[in-house]
Amino acid sequence: MLPYKSLIQVDRNSSVSLHIQVCNSFITLISGGTLQPSDMLPSSRVLADLIGVHRNTVKLAYEELISQGWADSVARKGIFVLSKLPIVTKRRLTNAGEQLQKKEPFTWTNKFKDAVPSRNLQSSILTIDDGFPDVRLTPIDELMREYRSISRKSYGKNFLKYGSAKGSAHLRQAIAGYLYNTRGISVSAENILITKGSQMGIYLAAQLLLAPLENIAVGVSNYLLADNTFKHHGANLVRIPVYDHGMDIDYLEKVLRKRKLKAVYVIPHHHCPTTVTMSMERRLKLLKLAREHRFAIIEDDYDFDFHYENKPYLPLASIDHHQNVVYIGSVTKTVAPALRIGFMIGPAPFINAAAALRELIDKQGDTVLEEAFAVMFNNGEMERYFRKSLKIYKSRRDLFCQVLKSEFKNKIEFTLPEGGLAVWASFDKKTDLVKLSAAALKKGLSIDDGTFYRNESFSANGLRLGFASLDEAEILEALGKLKAVLK
């Protein structure tokens, strides 16, 4: 007889009843090949004594086992493993108890072997991030108040049902109004798709615009996850230089004489990673080229709301009169990364197709959360938040850059960013950023190692140093630790 005393363990503190625990243990023994078809199980009295439970518990376990089709009761003989079950070869174990595995259990295509894992920023360690908002400023109490209010009302119960893949109609209308008032973009709710952040918008746009081997123009320095999205769809990335005034549109024009482009991905406002802003001259020329060559412009405008020195340039989407622009924005990047709300704007047929595609992977977002955000936009709470945080972030930017200028003269070069939540810092060539990151972590400071910003055409020894998520004391402490590591 098998050593059931060690094979079947029961936990009296578990929420699972004892007879189900025993039943599940037998299922594991049968499915793993330890018990074979037609094997006899011990009597209820014997097993009860072995594992220390009441005999009735074992009887209930056997009844459950029989009802699930794993065993059979034979009159005047006992309980047996069902004879009709297929024979399972018992798994061989190594000395360490690990299962030997000669082959993968199934074949699949791993297209993400070289993917750079994202940093987990939910720990409490002091962090210089990539440029994210300070979640301590997020109007979470007001948002949750609206969330609770909506969920308690009779009409709010309907938002718990399936809704439109485009997202909450109220939020789309609210965003349409907000974009018109702040950015001069005139669209209706039918031109807006609510996404779970800008990354979803980039993915959906790429799926609809690009086919394998088609060309998309991107910056020499560019947002890595956008690059990876386009590569995942099999597109060819055509690199265009990015200088102090944004993407070099004259260079792009020369490329268009030789190659057909399906789309251009551009971050004209606070380019990632370098934070530069595209000049109005280049914006107008890009729109002109899009009309002439009939390519789409994917405009990633992830943090338009944070501009400090003067009024920001209007987005390409606001001066596009021929519907060449697919405009992608984010509430996530400006309020809190975990609140997954973004939006994509384009021609109505394009948005309808994007909504249909979105349904294949994610039927819809959190409608109640979207409705709560709609109320926040409509009652002015979001505008108050942006005004308040803009003032705070400007003060933090000024302090951060003041310390960089005075304490890191020979180690870091940077340009004061006109907006956004990060500084693009070029480190001395002698500085190994990977070693710097590891050494900083030992001193209690989490900082990137620079690999996220590099690609086959761009290998600058630089980092985006986010200042917005740190208060004044934390800025001084973080930069103090960084200075100590650089020494």
Same domain, 379 and 331: yes
* Among 422, 419, 471, residue whose Cα is nearest residue 447: 422
Banded pLDDT at 89 (limits 50, 70, 90): confident
Q: For residue 100, what pLDDT is reported?
A: 53
Asked, for residue 57, whether it belongs to a domain, the answer is yes
Give the model's confidence band at 253: pLDDT under 50 very low, under 70 low, under 90 confident, else very high.
Answer: very high
pLDDT of residue 99: 54
CA dist 474 and 184 (Å) reads 37
Mean pLDDT of 278-297: 97
Write down the pLDDT at residue 92: 60
Residue 359 is predicted with a pLDDT of: 94
Report residue 91's pLDDT band, with 50, 70 and 90 as the boundaries. Answer: low
Residue 312, pLDDT score: 83
Residue 428 CA to residue 57 CA, distance in Å, equals: 72
Whether 264 shows a pLDDT value over 80: the answer reads yes
The first and second tokens of residue 250, run together, are 């004259």
Residue 216 lies in a domain: yes
SS3 letters for the chain?
Answer: CCCHHHHCCCCCCCCCCHHHHHHHHHHHHHHCCCCCCCCECCCHHHHHHHHCCCHHHHHHHHHHHHHCCCEEEECCCEEEECCCCCCCCCCCECCCCCECCCCCCCCCCCCCCCCCCCCCCCCCCEEECCCCCCHHHCCHHHHHHHHHHHHHCCHHHHHHCCCCCCCCHHHHHHHHHHHHHHHCCCCCHHHEEEECCHHHHHHHHHHHHCCCCCEEEEECCCCHHHHHHHHHCCCEEEEECEECCEECHHHHHHHHHHCCCCEEEECCCCCCCCCCCCCHHHHHHHHHHHHHHCCEEEEECCCCCCECCCCCCCCHHHCCCCCCEEEEEECCCCCCCCCCCEEEECCHHHHHHHHHHHHHHCCCCCHHHHHHHHHHHHCCHHHHHHHHHHHHHHHHHHHHHHHHHHHCCCCEECCCCCECCEEEEEECCCCCHHHHHHHHHHCCEEECCCHHHCCCCCCCCEEEEECCCCCHHHHHHHHHHHHHHHC
Sort 85 into a burial class: Cβ within 10 Å, 0-12 / 13-18 / 19+: middle
Q: What are the pLDDT digits (tens) for 398-409?
A: 999 999 999 998
Angstrom distances, CA of residue 388 to CA of 110, 124, 137, 222, 420: 45, 24, 9, 30, 15
**Per-residue model confidence (pLDDT) at position 115:** 76
Q: pLDDT tens-digit profile of 129-175?
A: 999 999 999 999 999 999 999 999 888 888 888 899 999 999 999 99
φ, ψ for residue 35 (rounded to 5)?
Answer: -105, 135
Last residue of a domain, one of 366, 383, 400: 383
Residue 278 has pLDDT above 90, yes or no: yes
159 belongs to a structural domain: yes
Whether the predicted pLDDT of 430 surpasses 80 = yes
Looking at the domain assignment, is residue 416 inside a domain? yes
Q: Is residue 392 part of a domain?
A: yes
Q: Could you say which of 383, 398, 425 is where a domain stops?
A: 383
**Residue 260 is assigned to a structural domain of this protein:** yes
Say whether pLDDT at 101 is over 70. no
β-strands 192-195, 342-345: how paired?
Answer: antiparallel
Q: Which residues pair with 297 in a beta bridge?
A: 264, 325
Instruction: Please tell me the total count of domains within the chain.
Output: 3
Residue 63 lies in a domain: yes
Contact 220, 246 (CB under 8 A): no
Each residue's pLDDT tens digit, 341-362:
999 999 999 999 999 999 998 8
Average pLDDT of the segment spanning 317-329:
95
pLDDT by residue (tens digit) across 171-191? 999 999 999 999 999 999 999
Q: Examine the pLDDT at 74 and tell me if it is beyond 90.
A: yes
Pair (372, 391) in one structural domain: no
Are residues 416 and 278 part of one domain? Answer: no
* 448 shares a domain with 474: yes
Would you say residue 97 has pLDDT above 80? Answer: no
Going by C-alpha positions, the residue among 14, 482, 456 that lies closest to residue 224 is: 456
Final residue in a domain of this structure, among 361, 383, 405 = 383
Top-confidence residue, 76 or 395? 395
Per-residue confidence (pLDDT) for residue 226, from 0 to 100: 96
Q: What's the confidence (pLDDT) of residue 98?
A: 55
Q: Model's pTM, two decimal places? A: 0.86
Amino acid occupying residue 255: V
pLDDT of residue 384: 94
CATH of residue 19: 1.10.10.10
- 190 shares its domain with 292: yes
Full residue range of the structural domain in which residue 32 is found: 4-81
> What would the mean pLDDT of 422-428 be, rounded to a whole number?
96
Mean pLDDT of the chain: 93
Whether residues 222 and 356 fall in one domain: yes
Confidence grade of residue 487 (pLDDT, cut at 50, 70, 90): confident
Chain segment 3-37, per-residue pLDDT in tens: 999 999 999 999 999 999 999 999 999 999 999 99
CATH number at residue 342: 3.40.640.10
Provide the pLDDT for residue 104: 75
Assign 102 a pLDDT band (cuts: 50, 70, 90). low
pLDDT digits (tens, 9 = 90+) for 205-240: 999 999 999 999 999 999 999 999 999 999 999 999
Query: In terms of domains, do 266 and 173 share one?
Result: yes
* Arithmetic mean of pLDDT, 52-69: 96
**Rounded Cα distance, 343 and 352, in Å:** 13
> Which pLDDT does position 119 carry in this prediction?
77
Q: Is the pLDDT at 426 greater than 80, yes or no?
A: yes
